[in-house]
Amino acid sequence: MSCYELLEKVKDAKNFKSDSELAGFLGITRQSINGIKKGGGFSKEVAIKISEATKIELFEILLIREMQIETNEKVKKAWEKISQGLGIAATYVLVINTAYEVIDLTHCILC
């Protein structure tokens, strides 16, 4: 799933007919919506609004966001592997840790 697909889920959940309605709800511009369509990401505040509107877990949305905005191919592949191979709790720990730019798996609650 992409960041844009998440926005489409919000549109469906809220019965929005236009990107303008969606942008207003999320507190961003239509230009930002266009940037997300082209592969850009969104802020953590927008991620929270998406989660609340769609009932998708916030950590899943943050993981999708991180995978999409990452430019380093090795790191992107690591995010993909995390999303596919680890359990929910471990993924959650890693997303929170990377939000603070601390990646230290020795302190993972599952390790």
Q: What was the pLDDT predicted at 87?
A: 55
pLDDT digits (tens, 9 = 90+) for 2-18: 899 999 999 999 999 99
User: Of the candidates 25, 100, 88, 35, which has an alpha carbon nearest to the alpha carbon of residue 59?
Assistant: 88
Dihedral (CA of 109, 6, 102, 78) sign: positive
Mean pLDDT (whole number) for 23-42: 94
Q: What was the pLDDT predicted at 79?
A: 82
The confidence band for 86, taking pLDDT boundaries of 50, 70 and 90, is low
Residue 92 confidence (pLDDT) above 60: no
Mean pLDDT (whole number) for 68-94: 72
As given in the structure block, the two tokens for residue 109 are 């609650």
Residue 89 confidence (pLDDT) above 50: no
